[in-house]
Amino acid sequence: MRTVHLGGPEPRDGSKPTAAPRRFVFGDREVVTIGLERRVWQDLYHYCMTVSWPNLFGSFALAFLCFNLAFSVIYWLSPGCIANVNPPGFIGIFFFSVETLATVGYGDMHPDTLYGHIVASGEIFVGMMSVALLTGVMFARFSRPTARFLFSDVGVVRPLDGRTVLMFRAANARQNIIMEASAQLRLLQDTVTREGYRYRRITDLRLLRSEHPLFVLGWNLMHVIDENSPLATETAESLAAARASFNLTLSGTDETTGQVLMARRAYQASAIRWNHTFRDIISTGEDGVDQFDYGRFHDVDPIYDSEVR
């Protein structure tokens, strides 16, 4: 999911401006939300955990610059409060502020008046708190468990053992052991009730096997489309008309770290290939060793009537 910020129009009646619209991209579907103001300062931790690395370091650099400029101005308001300013003038005071905020203190420049000592003490406190917060944010981002689950680009609907199944592929790209992995598949579609009320309905789709004791290589996730399935009367056209999407979620415990890993993939109705099958990625070499070719992981082939019979 990606978020794009859009510029909002200014109200013409003199009222308080509304929040800028935000566009969310779920796979191939775009949703625009309006009227909800986003206050970064009230959810700063979430911002630090979700913003990109370049934007995070850029935010830290900007905050560092602003803090030093602010304290430099405070020092500059009392000339002579810093001894041995070098280079002379405001630029020297700025570098002293940098050294103080970073708690470096080379020794050449130092507070020379009571005013300077008080301001420097406040800046040291701010510097220590900033380092603690920065360390916490960096540790939280690096220690956050991330799954490297690979999902097929499309899903297929195909006959299997005399039944029609909806199938997706998943793989563990790290190829380590994920213990007690579980999967959930849900259908989201627009629905209109008898009263004409329109809403987005979420329906659970039962998987033929929703648990995997040792998820190491690959996993075919299948939902049987029978008379009890919510997809029993659906077609590619009806799913497209209802703006249907399938949400596949995987979770499990990493044996190496003991952390719970989670990942998800959304498939629009257009990503479902009817009467197709995934290309086989398993082969056996001349030495009798099984080979998994992940280069064909996303490939599908059509199923012809002769093959079905």
- Averaged pLDDT in 10-residue chunks for the chain of 309 residues: 47 52 68 74 79 90 94 94 92 93 84 93 92 89 86 95 94 90 95 89 94 91 95 93 94 90 93 94 82 89 64
Taking CA atoms, 151 is separated from 113, 219, 274, in Å, by: 65, 10, 18
pLDDT in tens, 71-118: 999 999 999 999 999 899 999 999 999 999 888 877 789 999 999 999
Other CB atoms within 10 Å distance of the CB of residue 150: 17
Residues in the chain: 309
pLDDT of the residue at 187: 96
In sequence order, the β-bridge partners of residue 245 are: 188, 268
Distance (Å, rounded) from C-alpha 182 to C-alpha 199? 28
Distance (Å, rounded) from C-alpha 309 to C-alpha 84? 92
pLDDT of the residue at 17: 47
Every domain of the chain with CATH number 1.10.287.70 lies at 40-143
pLDDT of the residue at 4: 46
Every domain of the chain with CATH number 2.60.40.1400 lies at 150-308
Q: Retrieve residue 3's tokens.
A: 């978020």
Per DSSP, helices labelled H in the chain are 44-50, 53-76, 90-101, 114-143, 236-241, 305-308
Question: Which position has the token pair 């917060």?
Answer: 133
Q: Model pTM greater than 0.95?
A: no
Contacts of 27 by beta carbon, 8 Å cutoff, 6+ apart: 245, 266, 267, 268, 271
Other CB atoms within 10 Å distance of the CB of residue 158: 21
Which CATH number does 40-143 carry? Answer: 1.10.287.70
pLDDT in tens, 160-192: 988 999 999 999 998 889 999 999 999 999 998
Backbone angles phi, psi at 30, to 5 degrees: -115, 135
Are residues 229 and 205 in contact, defined by beta-carbon separation less than 8 angstroms?
yes
Quick one: fold of 150-308?
Immunoglobulin-like (2.60.40)
Distance (Å, rounded) from C-alpha 159 to C-alpha 307? 10
Residue 267 CA, distance from chain mean position:
17
Pairing between strand 272-274 and 155-160? parallel
- Given its phi and psi angles, is residue 80 left (phi above 0), alpha (psi -120 to 50 degrees) or beta? left
pLDDT of the residue at 7: 46
CA-based torsion, 152, 156, 160, 165: positive or negative? positive
* Position 234, amino acid: E
Other CB atoms within 10 Å distance of the CB of residue 140: 12
Side-chain-facing half-sphere of 102: CA atoms under 13 Å: 13
Other CB atoms within 10 Å distance of the CB of residue 264: 15
pLDDT of the residue at 26: 61
CA quadruple 200, 204, 207, 210: dihedral, nearest 10? 110
pLDDT of the residue at 18: 52
Backbone angles phi, psi at 147, to 5 degrees: -95, 140
pLDDT of the residue at 41: 66
Distance (Å, rounded) from C-alpha 309 to C-alpha 307? 5
